[in-house]
Amino acid sequence: MPALVVLGAQLGYEGKGKAVDLLSQEAHAVIRCQGGDNAGHTVITDKGTFKLHLVPSGILWPNVWCFLGNGCVVDPWELVTELGSLRARGVDVSYFRVSALAHVVMPWHRELDRLGDGVGMATKLGTTGRGIGPCYADKMLRRGLRMADLLEPDLDLKLARLHALKSAEIDMFQPRASVVLPPPGKLADALRLLGGELRDFIADTDAMARKFANAGEDILLEGAQGTMLDIDFGTYPYVTSSSTTAAGAFAGSGLPPRELAGVIGVAKAYVTRVGEGPMPSEMPAPLADTVRQRGMEFGVTTGRPRRCGWFDAPQAKYACEVNGIDGIILTKLDVLTGMGPIKVVTSYEFDNDGRDDLPARLYGSPKLTPIYTEVPGWDEDIAGVRDWSKLPDNARRYVELLQRLVGVEIVLVATGPHRDDIIDR
Ligand code: IMP
């Protein structure tokens, strides 16, 4: 049973990049199972800071296979750029592969994402604008292009049909559109060129993954975004367009679920959210500003300031249940240093009825009131502490409180941005 799933247990940007980076050094292969370049990971190594959007952060370890699985949606322009900048910094990308079955994010997907966000709804979703939703929609409508198509001789024909359809769709949103798509022939040429550059990387990653599993090799299945952004179990419609939960890791990689060894959930010592949607434990502005500055809480992909809130235990507990999380990696504990008393949501009152469970469909309901407990904080600098016993008592008590409330063991605690700033409990 060689597959370990690592995923976000909150609202995205939990610090998964660092967690996956840490766990990948032991892995034979790391597979990203869903999402596209809406995700963003920052990993800090001795070689400097790496900001990755598509390529799994395992690429920063030597000889680790890194796949973008069939469940991903891939912008080939972005992929070629990212691989190029990794190569330029001396990173060996020869172990990288992208599934031939992964869908291609086309320029019209980005335009439609931008034009369509909020259409037919009360508010905008605040998507990353990377074309993710429209690309998944076309996949489900069975009229998408897959990575393998970039290498096929009938690319021009497929593209001409889609181009006509997509131009008409764009016109529906915006007649007399200021949006001008490149003509189909030009687009086909560009894609063929990209296909040429990516030819050696496009592979049957699902078959490769099964082969690794059959040989008993350890595989890390990396989820992008977070549980509350899952298309089914998240705060719909304020979600992304894929399955971010543990089940999605198998559909998105082609590994059979019987290979599951365990599920690790990554959670921050507080919560953040980018874009619209409910976040019941959101902090008031001055406090949120402090946390945002200290935690550098700005989107890796969009640069947008992230909304900040207190740790929400019922939400994390829900994520543990939906994903079957066996252990939690708690990140960014150091950001809470010097904050004074720290609040934690322990339960919710719904129509005056106390409850510590939290169905996602109620998350953010105006009838839902978070109930907080307040615990003393700490002022000692804990940045980079790597020994549990060296943490101040109040910091240890805080971690133990979260563990008690969520009911799942916190196995690692991150205390700084560097790869090694971590406590193994
Ligand atoms: P989309 O994934 O671009 O369609 O955006 C849908 C929602 O998911 C928006 O609220 C985004 O801000 C959010 N989102 C998408 N990707 C990420 C991520 O990697 N981390 C955190 N939020 C994300």
pLDDT of residue 122: 77
Residues 261 and 292 in one domain: no
Ligand 1 and 229: CB distance under 6 A: yes
On whether the CB atoms of residues 331 and 18 are closer than 8 A, the answer is yes
Task: Pick the atom of ligand 1 nearest to 132's CA.
Answer: 4
Residues 274 and 184 in one domain: no
- State mean pLDDT over 314-341: 96
Residues 243 and 344 in one domain: no
In the chain, % of residues over pLDDT 70: 97
Ligand 1 and 16: CB distance under 6 A: no
Ligand 1 and 242: CB distance under 6 A: no
Expressed in angstroms and rounded, the spacing between residue 213 Cα and the centre of ligand 1 is 31
Task: Look at 65-74, 294-303, 306-315, 393-402 and tell me which has the smallest mean pLDDT.
Answer: 294-303
Expressed in angstroms and rounded, the spacing between residue 77 Cα and the centre of ligand 1 is 20
Expressed in angstroms and rounded, the spacing between residue 381 Cα and the centre of ligand 1 is 32
For residue 34, the enclosing domain spans 3-101+201-265
pLDDT in tens, 357-373: 677 778 878 788 899 99
The CATH number of the domain holding residue 22 is: 3.40.440.10
Domain stop point among 198, 219, 249: 198
- State mean pLDDT over 311-320: 96
Atom 20 of ligand 1 has which residue's CA nearest to it?
12
Whether 121 has a pLDDT exceeding 90, the answer reads: no
Task: Look at 84-98, 225-239, 291-305 and tell me which has the smallest mean pLDDT.
Answer: 291-305
Burial of 168 (0-12, 13-18, 19+ CB in 10 A): exposed
Residues 210 and 146 in one domain: no
Ligand 1 and 133: CB distance under 6 A: yes
Ligand 1 and 275: CB distance under 6 A: yes
Task: Pick the atom of ligand 1 nearest to 133's CA.
Answer: 4
Domain stop point among 176, 198, 220: 198
Atom 11 of ligand 1 has which residue's CA nearest to it?
127
Q: Which residue has the tokens 């946390």?
A: 291
Ligand 1 and 315: CB distance under 6 A: no
Residues 260 and 368 in one domain: no
Residues 208 and 194 in one domain: no
The CATH number of the domain holding residue 169 is: 1.10.300.10
Work out the pLDDT band at 79, boundaries 50, 70, 90: very high
Hey, which of 274, 276, 298 would you mutate to test ligand 1's pocket, going by the most ligand atoms within 8 Å of its Cβ? 274
Residues 289 and 349 in one domain: yes
Domain stop point among 165, 198, 231: 198
pLDDT of residue 356: 64
Q: If you average pLDDT over every residue of the chain, what do you get?
A: 93
Residues 313 and 217 in one domain: no
Ligand 1 and 128: CB distance under 6 A: yes
pTM comes to: 0.95
Work out the pLDDT band at 302, boundaries 50, 70, 90: confident
The CATH number of the domain holding residue 320 is: 3.90.170.10
Q: Which residue has the tokens 């292969």?
A: 29
Residues 108 and 183 in one domain: yes
pLDDT in tens, 260-283: 999 999 999 999 999 899 999 999
Q: In the chain, how many domains are there?
A: 3
pLDDT of residue 154: 94
Residues 358 and 418 in one domain: yes
Whether 22 has a pLDDT exceeding 90, the answer reads: no
Residues 91 and 8 in one domain: yes
Ligand 1 and 125: CB distance under 6 A: yes
Task: Pick the atom of ligand 1 nearest to 302's CA.
Answer: 12
Hey, which of 117, 127, 230, 231 would you mutate to test ligand 1's pocket, going by the most ligand atoms within 8 Å of its Cβ? 127
Residues 321 and 332 in one domain: yes
